[in-house]
Chain A
């Protein structure tokens, strides 16, 4: 027995001495578990979210809005249910997770500017998500590490919109009130005034979008009447557009190396026809000449740009007849595979919200009487929006385009009086006609801006998008939830679906009714 107790003592001793350095051994030496410099969490969240918005505009948002055409995507076969990873914008929740941490840490450290920036970014992502899906995980979302909630509840779009408007109002108050300089801000380089403008721009976007359900007048008037408290964009120079870098692959414009050689996705016939009819020079930015009209002849020369033909393709017709006789999207969005010389790693910007969009919102608001000024003010906003578009795209033309076969210079992208005075553009006609013109210009301006053009079409029906013969026979009004939500978050999913009606492509979201 003596021996046995000795052994058990030995085992006890060993078990203590065996494990006393375990905590040190099992501490991860490779990466930190605490972040104090909260700005480190911003660059990736901004870049990733903007990239995702940019990419899905190209193969989904732009196609369903009939700005782009694709034989592959226009029957919406790529809208079928999939797991969340890589599924439309659902990845935003990953970036919202990091922003939630920014907010949490900022609150602890009393960093008002950081919190404001994170609230604006997060609101933009939630807005994009709810516009696509309807009810979404909102207040409980993307917080598993902080709260332990791994099956977040869905909230109605109405609740989400109300929450976002409150968050943006809070952000407007917070921004600029902190003492700290915001680092890691790859969108505005720490300029909190610009973030305030984006916050108010997004509020206007949300207010207009829900205007069929909630009267936006009071809130809109409050914003517009007090530009000191509620500043908004003044031109494309302070709009929310991410300027890509050429330093490393991760910071290049998403299509630069994407391998899209211009054969799969084309510019839509509807867009090209509008631009051609109006003699709108944005055509030369939005589209490339057809390969057939611009190809090198036997003597090695390209034809003169005056011989170039621009033709859009029809969505929803199955296979494209001939890739050579339709226009790919413009060089700013084209890949190195299509043209190693002209493709630009930083030509296209990742636009979250443009000055023009704000102006078009205000135009519509004035025309509808949500804000004061009536039709006269509306006309002013309307022309501001259009004119800034030309200025913006002129400024995007890389210098080497002048000597390329495109012979494109900033001066090529201009609009003179005759443009503005033609019937299709001039701010004339009935109220409906005017609203239609605002809608059309807004639609054109939302080229490559996430899913915004589609959301606007759902809200206003502008422009009239034709339904192709090959496909489901309708234009989708929302997207299916990701497959893993049905599989894993089933109780919350079921609740969301019952408030929505059905989890299909036809159901209308709350503001679209």
Chain B
């Protein structure tokens, strides 16, 4: 492994080189204008400016320019500035700058910005006025960034949004940014699959799509970033693209929950939008520096509970010899080809020849490919209670961010450098990410402002996490691994003298990979370069009319080398494969906006019109050396057989035109109207244009009715919106696929999915109502939203019968209605000068229902990632339903009614028709966030959880059936040593007698299950009631966890030289996922990571060899200079 210390240097080289050019370009722009503007600043105002103003207004008016910042020196965009008692007004631009024309020195400028205290400033003889706005403690009066980057007072919106400040996210940065949002926003459900940097699935307001693609759109400073469901190569999870967003650069995250909020972002925001605003530079003297450093230690969280009484073998018999390697020169042992734990009792003083027992020639028993291994010397047959836990290590995460910011009246910049180096709890699973962010704006002339925001991300990994059911994942291995196996004995994973050629295992008969071999030799690496950002120009024709034009780009190159060493199961001769993915998304847009007020500012209006062209294109290539010529050399040229590979490219375009009008009467009533039309290249001519409007209304009851003082705020809001949605490229016409050739016979094959040349756009329409009230100077506030969304004309792949020659056909069908309630309660129990305690509670509940499908079918299988169970949408029933075989039970009346039938072969059976098993959606989800500050000391903690919901576990099914889990010791654990496998076992249930009557199948009561009607052996006693009976594999998804805990201390300024050099310093101790509570019935899993990544995407409701969740503890240091 490369020394990590070299990496920052590489970063500097890459990062600075890449950005050198950009910065230089931008700087030369600065320099080129310097002569005119920077040095001659006052002159412009004094002479030129006056002349110009005089020309324009024909009066003696004066232009005042300036900048508005917050207490920390951050620029505040969107601050309203009005000249008191006139109709004149403007607002600050993205850099917090403004330009306003006044008539007299006596004029008063009123700066207002919700979330901040309103400030009035007398102009006097100044030409330049900079204002620092003081933050208002009024929690509910926030300003949020809405669609198209328009800042709005939250109280003026007709729909529900929820904002989180960057510092809340930044308390403990997760390697996947999306996980930082967990539990913080009502109505947002996040699930993942585990492993460093692995994908996370985020769904807002429930599943609205039959194709399970309900992901919202991420917008970073106006630039869309997709977060597609999955990003797999083989079974390795490479993390979806929103994971790379850097928490340290985030000023705020605003979640626009429904289509009303997202109506202007178009199709891709049909299922909500997560709008991220990054930190900007500030107008201040000198260079501002902030430094944040985090060091986290990570431990594996909950692991399944294993039995520790019985070791490997079959029917109580085990003695090692060739450990199941029938190809080996050594003879078979007694049942040593069995991997499962149905062997003899451990810890009773017996000795066995084991895979890690020494041999007479100094080798290990399992070195079965070694010529002169010798005889195996028996060692004690003892349990290894922690063998699975021993596989995991302590993970480490270093996260450092250094940011410089500065500026003057003409421009500002912020340059942020971030490194994240994480080693997971899984051996050799790591992620290194280096990020550079430059955010800068500059006033080229008084009316023209340019801005640039560029991010460069370099992400590398030696090995990404593997997921799913297969020989490539270690959790799969743990379902079978004998309970007698000492994990540490597997660490030397080559057989001596056969390094690179023959792996070492505890069992060869069942074709498992040694988990350490898997982690260190069969690796899935990554090297990804990504640049995203935008360049914008904004021209202010006058105080009211502005035009903004912008080009945004997001492109990445992702290189994924994947290797399999010689002797890998399924790749006996080794394999090397490289995958190269390039993706680019470009958005070019313009926005013309006009704002003004009428009748002394009582009526305000803001009208905008704009357009956008979205272009997405990409290609990926993969090529593999399917068998290595020389072991251990990973090069495509090193192939022992014909290379295989493939490539694909795609292109998609959406053109859009849109407009919006925001009207208000005083702060009494606000009305928003939007309209948008999209033209998508993915839909057929004739159906590729679709229009969608929205309307929102908000009434401020406090102002209208002049409510009593103890009511701080009372507003009602409502909105209605429609959003259209298109599909992926090339979804209209069938093509042929390439089949692997037969010698020199090259081949094509037809495709199973029948495409449809007549697709129409999907339409989601939503209405919602909400109310926000707060009392006692906002110490108690409640924000409640009810929504009702109808998703129609969904583009779905309707399964067809295979006998039709098509596995599915694309159609427009289906109506899904989602209804839900979201509530945010904020409460300030204590607020004194020194002590403050804020509590925020999120709660949400969503119910989705399939209203109709098509005339052909009344149900559709949405996903079936496990064995037998599937997620099915059935007409008239709730979305998210898990169906699968249940037990055949007694239906005849009588004392046995409802009991599981035990047939004369001694086993229960699954129903041939699927039964309803449960819904993966929780009944509700919630979170409680507490912030306590006492002088410099702060304590933040967040609880989160969900109630209700179910998942099906494949690990449970396999591992219990293989004699590994605690449950599998039932019965045999209660029998006397040596007799465990002698007499039959009787599965509890209703034995079906020859005459059709029923009797209790198990009649023993001492826990041995040793008497009854139909008996079987110990293994089938456990396995048969589970196998292919999904009902038996079902768990509750209810959990409650301490998601985050942090204690911080801001050092008193006298400790840091009275703030002369270091302005402030804070030290924190942070923990994530510190404890987890689940119902008694679920001792094995953290429901938050029970998401399957098999197949096409992240599928909730299925545990499928999920990587366990982790808990983290760390310290952080934040310094500002």
Chain A residues within CB distance 8 Å of chain B? 11, 14-15, 18-19, 21-23, 25-33, 35, 39-45, 47, 75, 80-81, 84-85, 90-91, 93-94, 96-98, 100-101, 136-137, 141-145, 149-152, 183-184, 186, 245, 247-251, 257, 259, 261-263, 291-292, 295-298, 300, 319, 323-324, 336-341, 470-471, 482, 484-485, 487-489
Known: A43-B739, A186-B745. A18 touches B806 (CB 8 A): no
B608 to chain A, nearest CB (A): 14
Query: In the complex the two chains form, is B652's CB within 8 Å of A25's CB?
Result: yes
Task: Tell me whether chain A's interface is mostly helix, strand or loop, or mixed.
Answer: loop
Q: Could you list some 19 contacts between A and B, CB below 8 A?
A: A26-B681, A26-B682, A30-B647, A30-B735, A41-B749, A44-B739, A44-B748, A91-B802, A98-B749, A136-B803, A142-B803, A145-B806, A247-B642, A259-B569, A261-B509, A262-B326, A263-B509, A337-B327, A482-B802
Which chain A residues lie closer than 8 Å to B737 at the CB level?
Answer: 31
Segment of B328-336, B349-357, B1039-1047 engaged in the interface with chain A: B328-336
Per a CB cutoff under 8 Å, which of B511, B569, B754 touches A144? B754
Q: Which residue from A15, A31, A43 sits with its C-beta under 8 Å from B689?
A: A15
Tell me if A142 and B1017 are in contact (CB < 8 A).
Answer: no
Partner pick for A22 among B650, B679, B1017, CB 8 A cutoff: B679
Contact yes or no, A141 B804, CB < 8 A: yes
* Selected contact of B511 from candidates A149, A337, A488, CB within 8 Å: A337
Binding-face segment, B245-253, B725-733, B917-925, B1072-1080: B725-733
CA distance in complex: A93, B735 (Å)? 18
Residue-wise, chain B 551-569 has the 8 Å CB interface mask toward A (1 for contact) of 0000000000000000001
The residue among A101, A150, A183, A471 with the most chain B CB atoms within 10 A of its own CB is A150
Q: Whole-angstrom distance from the CB of B97 to the nearest CB of chain A?
A: 32
Give the residues in chain A near B741, CB-CB below 8 Å: 43, 248
Q: A18 touches which one: B644, B655, B738, B803 (CB < 8 A)? A: B655
Other A-B pairs, 14, CB within 8 Å; known A262-B326, A484-B802: A25-B681, A30-B647, A30-B649, A30-B735, A31-B738, A32-B736, A43-B739, A43-B747, A81-B912, A261-B337, A297-B331, A340-B572, A488-B799, A489-B801
Residues of A near B511 (CB, < 8 A) are 259, 261, 337
Closest 4 CB pairs of A and B: A142-B805, A97-B805, A44-B739, A84-B802
CB-contacts of B656-677 with A (<8 A): 657, 677
Cα distance, A35 to B751, chains bound together (Å): 13
CB neighbours (8 Å) of B649 from chain A are 29-30
**Bound: A44/B748 CA distance, A:** 7
CA distance A152 to B803 in the complex (A): 7
Tell me the smallest distance from the CB of A56 to a CB of chain B, in Å: 15
Asked if A44 and B802 make an inter-chain contact with CB atoms under 8 angstroms apart, the answer reads no
- Tell me, in angstroms, the Cα distance from A336 to B681 when the chains sit together: 50
Whether a CB of chain A sits under 8 angstroms from the CB of B648 is yes
* B739 surroundings in chain A (CB, below 8 A): 43-44
In the assembled complex, how far is the CB of residue B277 from the closest CB belonging to chain A, in whole angstroms? 30
Chain A residues whose CB sits within 8 angstroms of the CB of B743 once the complex forms: 186, 245, 247, 251
Chain A residues near B647: list those with CB within 8 A. 30
What interface size band does chain B fall in?
Answer: 35 or more
CB-contact partner of A94 in B642, B685, B752, under 8 A: B752
Does B326 lie within 8 Å of A137, measured CB to CB? no
**B807 CB–A CB distance under 8 Å:** yes
Is B120 positioned at the interface, with any CB of A under 8 Å from its CB? no
For B572, the chain A residues whose CB sits under 8 A away are 257, 336, 340
Q: Which of B611, B733, B750 has the most CB of A within 10 A?
A: B750
- Inter-chain contacts of B626 with A (CB < 8 A): 248-249
Q: Given that A28-B735, A484-B802 are known contacts, is A186 also in contact with B651, CB under 8 Å in the complex?
A: no
Residues of B within 8 A of A186 (CB): 742-743, 745
Give A263 to B732 CA distance when docked, in angstroms: 48
CB of B570 within 8 A of chain A?
A: yes
Residues of A near B598 (CB, < 8 A) are: none
Question: Which of B510, B677, B803, B805 has most A Cβ within 10 Å?
Answer: B803
Chain B residues with CB under 8 Å of A247's CB are 641-642, 743
What separation, in Å, do the CA atoms of A22 and B685 have in the docked complex?
A: 8
Q: Does chain A have a CB within 8 A of B734? A: yes
Residue picked from B327, B642, B732, most chain A C-beta under 10 Å: B327
Q: Are A150 and B804 in contact (CB under 8 A)?
A: yes
Chain B residues near A22 (CB-CB < 8 A): 653, 679, 681, 685, 688
Asked if residues B337 and A263 are in contact (CB atoms below 8 Å), the reply is yes
- Contacts A18-B655, A31-B738 given: A300-B329 contact, CB under 8 Å? yes
Which residues of chain B have C-beta atoms less than 8 A from A14's C-beta? 611, 655, 657
Bound CA–CA A85/B677 (angstroms): 41
B801 touches A152 (CB 8 A): yes
Report Cα–Cα, A247/B742, bound state, in Å: 8
B746 at the interface (CB under 8 A from A): yes
B326–A291 CB distance below 8 A:
yes
Given contacts A35-B748, A43-B747, contact A137 B803 (CB under 8 A): yes
Q: Mark B575-614, 1 if CB is under 8 A from A, else 0.
A: 0000000000000000000000000000000000001000
Contacts of A489 on B, CB cut-off 8 Å? 801, 803-804
Given A15-B689, A248-B641, the answer on whether A142 and B804 have CB atoms closer than 8 Å is: yes
Contacts of B807 in A (CB 8 A): 85
* CB neighbours of B893 from chain A (8 A): none
Q: How long is the Cα–Cα vector from A94 to B647 in the complex, in angstroms?
A: 24
Which chain B residue has the least Cβ–Cβ distance from A470? B905
A25-B651, A44-B739, A488-B801 are contacts. A11–B677 as well, Cβ < 8 Å?
A: yes
Does B1006 sit within 8 A of A, measured CB to CB? no
| Docked CA distance A91–B801 (Å) | 11
Contact between B733 and A33, CB atoms less than 8 A apart: yes
Instruction: With A25-B653, A261-B326, A339-B326 as known contacts, state yes or no: A323 contacts B912, CB within 8 Å.
Output: no
B933 at the interface (CB under 8 A from A): no
Whether B329 lies near A145 (C-beta < 8 A) is: no
A484 touching B327, Cβ below 8 Å? no
The residues of B that contact A149 with a CB separation of less than 8 Å are 804
Q: Is the CB of A141 within 8 A of B679?
A: no
**B857 CB within 8 Å of chain A:** yes
The smallest beta-carbon distance between A95 and chain B, in angstroms, is: 9
Q: Are A144 and B648 within 8 A (Cβ)?
A: no
- Which B842-870 residues have C-beta < 8 A from chain A? 856-857, 859
Min CB–CB distance B18 → chain A (angstroms): 30
Q: Closest Cβ of chain A: how far from B363's Cβ, in Å?
A: 15
Tell me if B1120 is interfacial: C-beta within 8 Å of chain A: no
A15 to B734, CA, bound (A): 27
Interface residues of B in 625-652 (CB under 8 A from A): 626, 641-642, 644, 647-652
Least distance between B865 CB and chain A CB atoms (Å): 14
Query: Which residues of chain B are near A262, meaning CB under 8 Å?
Result: 326
> How far is it, in angstroms, between the C-alpha of A350 and the C-alpha of B1114 when the chains are bound?
61
Which residues on B sit within 8 Å (CB–CB) of A26?
651-652, 681-682, 729-730, 732
CA distance A84 to B864 in the complex (A): 14
CB atoms of A337 and B326 under 8 A apart: yes
Alpha-carbon gap, A96 to B570, bound state (A): 30
Interface residue? B809 (CB, 8 A):
yes
Distance A183 CA – B655 CA, assembled complex (angstroms): 46
- Complex interface: chain B residues within 8 A of A90 (CB): 802-803
Interchain nearest-CB distance for B850 vs A (Å) = 16
Contact B747 A338 (CB under 8 A): no
Nearest CB in chain B to that of A30: its residue: B648
Shortest Cβ distance from A295 into B: residue: B331
